[in-house]
Amino acid sequence: MDEEQLMSVIGWEFPGGAFTIEPYEHWLMCDAVGTAPTRHGVANPMYVYYAALGGMGISLDELFAKVDATADDGVMFGEAGIDVHHPLQIGSTYTVAGRITDIVRKSGKRAGVFDIVTFVLALTDPAGATVGESTNSFVFPRRELP
């Protein structure tokens, strides 16, 4: 995929889907990270991240293929950020929608050519309010490019 084709992916929208914060999963996640396990009430803010990726409508392998890469290429996680507008509720189902917002091609002496692909996924509650956003980037080494 040449750079022009790659840049044409900016704005591509994820199929999206839904994610339910299951009470037992929330309890297990809290127990695993050392916070007070709960099965009802306000969900841990990390669920903005978990729900976004869980409900984006495609696998990571499919996302990588969208930018002409596979996990075998040595894809690395870049950055992540979450923005919580309203607390998420355990047991609630959230709609997930998002898009690729940026692609930057860079070159380094040691790393060679690589692309940084950034995408934003938004969570919407049953009333239609955006309750949170998850921004993520992946780094795609492009070993075949000079």
In a domain, 110, yes or no: yes
- 131 falls within a domain: yes
Whether 126 is in a domain gets the answer yes
- Please state the domain count of the chain: 1
The pLDDT tens digits of the residues spanning 25-60 come to: 999 999 998 988 889 999 999 999 999 999 999 999
Print the domain residue range for 32. Answer: 3-141
Residue 146 has pLDDT above 80, yes or no: no
- Tell if the pTM clears 0.85, that is, is over it: yes
Euclidean distance between CA atoms 70 and 108, whole angstroms: 21
Is residue 21 situated within a structural domain?
Answer: yes
- The torsion angles phi and psi of 12, rounded to 5 degrees, stand at -60, 135
- Supply the CATH number for residue 16's domain: 3.10.129.10
pLDDT in tens, 48-100: 999 999 999 999 999 999 999 999 999 999 999 999 999 999 999 999 999 99
Question: CB atoms < 10 A from the CB of 146, how many?
Answer: 6
* Residue 146, domain member (yes or no): no
